[in-house]
Amino acid sequence: MNYRASLEEQDRARWKLSLESFLKNPEEPVLITALRRALNSSSRPVFARGIDKCEYIVKGRQAGRQIINDQVVARLGLAMGAPVGKPQIVEISPELLELDPAFSFLIPGKAHGTHFIPDCFDDRDASKYKDHSGNRERFALLSVLFGWVHSRDEQFIYQTIHPNLVYSVDHGRFFPGGYAWTAESLQNASEAEVDRKLILSCSLTNHEIKQALSALEAVKEETIIQAVASPPDEWEITIDERIVMVEYLIKRQRFLLKSL
């Protein structure tokens, strides 16, 4: 084994220990107390209320690996200060599902929740409000986040009142392979680059991108590991897959930061 390979093995061993430490102390889920209505989407999210009296958009385990992607990307986005929905692990009880057969497609247990952002509307057009106060910085951060994790099926929501601030709340199809990603698809991914589609749509400048890259630089290795450890084991992600995802994210972060 050469010196570089030896260092990579040491890194993987260290990441595994850190992941296992976080997994031994999982985040306490918020119990869902009311299911309001299902939303019109392929992943069948549900508008719900938690015991903490917060409103959530919940994706259950019927959405497969989309909920892993949603949870991890949102945590990475928050660490960067990007405008993403705040993620939460929530719990759906069998008793709650028995109350209304309309939600029988949900699987009891831990699910992905996003704190509901009120007074927003959907729009895939990134250029429409790009020059409204605050949005250029927000789009620059999203362009770096999207390039870091590898974006697919980009969607946005905007506040209904001026300055129509942008948010990104649905990342279920992100990562190479989307919701069907594997360790192999992460390992064989192309090199990271800042999202060119957003740069062109929003006419982002080099200065704006460099500021967003500085936010990426501030995301520590421990934060990345903690994000990858956040999906519960019952979502069927193995420790080996988590290690590959950590390696994928750290290598892509380093590659993007070379341009700083």
Q: How do residues 56-109 score in pLDDT, each as one tens digit?
A: 999 999 999 999 999 999 999 999 999 999 999 999 999 999 999 999 999 999
Angle formed by the axes of helices 3-24 and 239-257, nearest 10°: 120
Burial of residue 237, with CB atoms counted within 10 A of its CB: 0-12 exposed, 13-18 middle, 19 or more buried: middle
Mean pLDDT score, 156-164: 96
The answer to whether residue 147 scores a pLDDT higher than 90 is yes
User: Residue 154: its pLDDT value, please?
Assistant: 84
Q: With contact defined as beta carbons under 8 Å apart, do 248 and 188 qualify?
A: no
- Is residue 182 packed enough to be buried (19+ CB in 10 Å), middle (13-18) or exposed (0-12)? middle
List of residues 6+ apart from 189 with CB closer than 8 A: 150, 176, 248, 252
Q: Which residue has the higher pLDDT, 155 or 19?
A: 19
Closest CA to 143 of 58, 235, 205: 205
Burial of 55 (0-12, 13-18, 19+ CB in 10 A): middle
Residue length, the chain? 260
Per-residue buried b or exposed e for 130-167, using 16+ beta carbons within 10 Å of the residue's own CB: bebeebbbbbbbbbbbbbbbbbbebebbbbeeeebbbb
Q: What is the pLDDT of residues 18-40, one digit of tens each?
A: 999 999 999 999 999 999 999 88
Q: Measured in Å, how far apart are the chain's first and last C-alpha atoms? A: 32
| Residue 13: per-residue pLDDT | 94
pLDDT band for position 7 (50/70/90)?
Answer: low
Backbone Cα Rg of the chain: 19
The answer to whether 97 touches 108, Cβ cutoff 8 Å, is yes
pLDDT at 203: 96
Q: What is the mean pLDDT of the chain?
A: 94
Closest by CA to 120, choosing from 164, 54, 58, is: 164
